[in-house]
């Protein structure tokens, strides 16, 4: 079960499940930025990130730059960060990648969350000034995470382990097919060698006709084109080697095409979707930690 940790201050959810499942909850905030952190969780981790980004913003503010405003859209599909006027999506943080969320319990303005980046797989800490709504936004993200995990289980997350077993079987089938093809190639090579031996000319001065080569059971080896072995050579040259068997469509020992468990039914998913399900399962297993803490520890942090 997903671990959704919460402090005593978080007792009830803020919104109806339908509001987060069928729509999204919008919030306006100022975006202080994001920075890489070493750990997916921890109050000290986010506190250091907040200090770093606040200091950077103070420098930019002294240069005349304003803190950019953003719109947050929170739903079971993630936390989107948009430009308020154009609605252009700047960041899209999926909930199973968010591992830690905290707000400042003193001034109710600063909140932050840690999200694992989908491309670099690095943990990034996002920091916002929410105009006294920090606690509500944190709680909304927690509720969205809880609903998303339940939806994940209802829509097939329980079958992830089954799909892993199917993937293992598919890998085993592929290994057997490879081994089968290697054996076929070895048999083909042996047939070619035996065929060359059968049609080779007798030694000079020898009048004794050469008898066909036999195996350990004193039997002539079977060859699908053995009727050609009696054909004389031309100008003492050997006939061309046997053409290799077509491998365009791989088949097993019984002539059947290999079984593909990912294409055997409408309820199965291809490997790329399964890898996504595995990723979501691991993210939800890690859980989301909600915390109320203190970020404003000195005069520098008192205002953004």
Provide the pLDDT for residue 52: 93
184 is written with which tokens?
Answer: 């076929």
Confidence of residue 32 (pLDDT cuts 50, 70, 90): very high
pLDDT in tens, 185-242: 899 888 888 888 877 756 555 555 555 566 665 666 655 554 444 445 445 555 555 5
The stretch 234-257 carries a mean pLDDT of 52
User: Of all residues in the chain, what percent are helix, strand and coil, respectively (each to 5)?
Assistant: 40, 20, 40
Confidence of residue 164 (pLDDT cuts 50, 70, 90): low
302 is written with which tokens?
Answer: 């008192």
Query: DSSP string of 215-237?
Result: -TTS-PPP-TTGGGGGSPPBTTB
Phi and psi angles of residue 82, each rounded to the nearest 5 degrees, phi first: -120, 155
Q: Are 77 and 148 in contact (CB under 8 A)?
A: yes
For the question of whether the overall pTM of this predicted structure is more than 0.85, the answer is no
What mean pLDDT, rounded, does the chain reach?
75
CA-to-CA distance for 205 and 75, rounded, in angstroms? Answer: 93
CA-to-CA distance for 127 and 81, rounded, in angstroms? Answer: 12
The angle at the Cα of 152, spanning 289 to 283, to the nearest 5 degrees, equals 40
Domain residue extents for the chain = 17-155, 157-196
Helix axes 271-286, 160-199, angle to 10 degrees: 140
Domain 17-155's class? mainly beta
């Amino acid at each position: 079960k997903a671990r959704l940790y919460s402090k005593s201050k978080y007792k009830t959810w803020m919104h109806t499940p339908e509001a987060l499942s069928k729509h999204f909850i919008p919030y306006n905030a100022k975006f202080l930025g994001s920075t890489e952190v070493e750990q997916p969780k921890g109050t000290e981790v986010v506190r250091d990130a907040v200090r770093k980004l606040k200091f950077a913003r103070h420098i930019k503010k002294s240069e005349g730059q304003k803190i950019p405003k953003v719109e947050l859209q929170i739903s079971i599909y993630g936390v989107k960060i948009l430009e308020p006027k154009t609605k252009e999506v700047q960041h899209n943080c999926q909930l199973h990648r968010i591992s830690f969320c905290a707000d400042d319990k003193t001034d109710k303005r600063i909140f932050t969350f840690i999200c694992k980046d989908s491309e670099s797989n690095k943990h990034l800490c996002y920091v916002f000034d929410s105009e006294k709504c920090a606690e509500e936004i944190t709680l909304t993200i927690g509720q969205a995470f809880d609903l998303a995990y339940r939806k994940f289980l209802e829509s097939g997350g329980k079958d992830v382990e089954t799909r892993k077993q199917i993937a293992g079987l598919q890998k085993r089938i592929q290994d057997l097919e490879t081994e089968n093809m290697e054996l076929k190639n070895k048999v083909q090579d042996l047939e070619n060698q035996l065929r060359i031996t059968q049609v080779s000319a007798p030694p000079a001065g020898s009048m004794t006709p050469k008898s066909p080569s036999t195996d350990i059971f004193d039997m002539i080896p079977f060859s699908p084109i053995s009727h050609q072995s009696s054909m004389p050579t031309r100008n003492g040259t050997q006939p061309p080697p046997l053409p290799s068997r077509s491998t365009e469509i791989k088949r097993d020992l019984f002539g059947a095409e290999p079984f593909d468990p990912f294409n055997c039914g409408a309820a199965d998913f291809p490997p790329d979707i399964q890898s996504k399900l595995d990723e979501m399962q691991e993210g939800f297993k890690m859980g989301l930690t909600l915390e109320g803490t203190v970020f404003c520890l000195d005069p520098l942090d008192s205002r953004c």
